[in-house]
Amino acid sequence: MPTAHHAVTDDLDLGTMEARLAALRGGHDPDMQDLSAGVDRIVASAPDLWEDNNSFRYFAPLSDAADEYVAWSRNPGKRVYTGIDEFDAAMRGLAPSELMLVVGFAHSGKTVFTTQVVMHNHDKNVVVFSPDETRVLVLIKLFSIFHGYGAEEVEQRLQQHDDEMEDLLRNFASEHFPNLGVFDELSDLTLFDTAVDEYEAAHGKAQLVVIDYAQLITGGSEDVAGTINAIKAWGKRRGLPIILLHQSSRSKGSGGAKVAIDSGGYGGEQQALFLVGVRRKKSQYQAMVDELEEKILQSSQQSTKDRLSDLLDDAKYELRKHAHTITFSLVKNKRPPGHLVDDLDFLLDPATGRVSSFTSTAGADSSVNQTTWSQPSMADDNF
């Protein structure tokens, strides 16, 4: 038998509700009178709900999508760009409510990529959730890229009370990134709303959120794929473009292996509009060198040893050439027509974290010294 609660809530037809309320107000049942008074309070607190009987919670006409697409097309400046020309041409920017996954093996350079993107978007309101790194580390990485000073040199000069370096560091934080918010203690997704609300109260609408990284975030789900789903839903609700770092699995990402669409540990690739792969080719060629050397030692035939030795020479050459490179690829792109970008090699300055275009005077004796550096392609010294 339905309860009084069911009698009120199961049928939201406005005419029926008015008739029932009129009957309740007749005063035949004290309990019903109390219920009637409660309903009256609800109606008074939400008049729009009763005045607009055509409102919907989930449904929206397809014409709304047309309006959204027109607005999106006419406002490219509201999107976030990586600073890599090939990526930006294929993706046409990361828009509000969209998710980009940056996937790579541990210590492969995922943070290098996202730091460069943050640098490229220095004029936007950016929020970084970084339970993996302190905000001091985030600051010094950006500072080193911008000014070209390695962290060791910065620390030594500060220890020596170098006022010039101290002023440079303080001015960098206050002048070049005054709107960068870094939350290094929050890993619970349920607290992200509060953090962003506080940030937006101070700086205005957030235009990009970076989360480092998926496996460290709690409060969304018991599994990583579920957490990524929850992060995507949170970003859509807040209208925020999100860059989420995600570690590749050991079977897919170790040894500098090429990143594929399914390289992310515990899944997660389904939820992303874009998936960027990051790897270090030196790891791949080092693994190849180790394997070839082991095979040469185990081989008993000279012809086989000679063939393996030739392969070993080639692998060592590639290892030298890529000793200081980092490789990015766009392996998933759901933005029509879905252009992908294969491996792009960049030079990585190990002291400063600067990334620049990669050119090599390749030859039989090519080495690190024969690889030239250019000005950072994703970080401009003159903002």
Quick: pLDDT tens for 308-344: 999 999 999 999 999 999 999 999 999 999 999 999 9
Q: Which residue has the higher pLDDT, 202 or 50?
A: 202
Q: What confidence tens digit (pLDDT) does each residue in 44-85 have?
A: 554 554 445 557 888 999 999 999 999 999 999 999 999 999
According to DSSP, the β-strands at 126-129 and 208-211 are parallel
Cβ–Cβ < 8 Å for 72, 247: no
How would residue 10 be classed by pLDDT, with cut points 50, 70 and 90? very low
Residue 207, amino acid:
Q
pLDDT of res. 13: 56
Q: How far apart are alpha carbons 375 and 338 in whole angstroms?
A: 30
Token output for 368 = 């690190």
Is the CB of residue 356 less than 8 Å from the CB of residue 97? no
- The confidence score (pLDDT) of residue 18 equals 62
User: 66-280+322-372: which CATH architecture?
Assistant: 3-Layer(aba) Sandwich (3.40)
Which pLDDT score, from 0 to 100, does residue 220 have?
80
Helices and strands, counts by H and E, the chain: 15, 11
Q: Which residues contact 50 (CB under 8 A, 6 or more apart)?
A: 14, 43
Res. 6 pLDDT band, cuts 50 70 90: very low
Phi, psi (degrees; rounded to nearest 5) at 162: -75, 105
Distant-in-sequence, close-in-space partners of 282: CB < 8 Å, separation ≥ 6: 256, 319, 322, 323, 324, 325
Q: Scanning the structure block, which residue is given the tokens 């080719």?
A: 281
Average pLDDT score over the chain: 84
User: How far, in Å, are 33, 122, 191, 343 from residue 379 at the CA level?
Assistant: 69, 10, 32, 20
Q: Is the pLDDT of residue 41 over 70?
A: no
Beginning with the edge strand found earlier in the chain, give each strand of the sheet holding 274-279 in spatial order: 180-183, 126-129, 208-211, 242-247, 99-104, 274-279, 325-333, 341-348, 355-357
Check whether 361 has a pLDDT greater than 60: no
Cβ contacts of residue 70 below 8 Å, gap of 6+? none
**pLDDT tier at 8, thresholds 50, 70, 90:** very low
Tens digit of each residue's pLDDT (9 = 90 or more) over 125-184: 999 999 989 999 999 999 999 999 999 999 999 999 999 999 999 999 999 999 999 999
**C-alpha–C-alpha distance, residues 235 and 227, integer Å:** 12
- Every domain range in the chain assigned CATH 3.40.50.300: 66-280+322-372
Instruction: Give the pLDDT mean for 102-116.
Output: 93
Give alpha helix (H) positions in the chain.
4-9, 14-24, 30-45, 47-51, 62-74, 85-91, 110-120, 135-147, 151-159, 163-171, 192-203, 224-238, 250-253, 281-298, 302-321
Query: Is the model's pLDDT at 213 over the cut of 70?
Result: yes
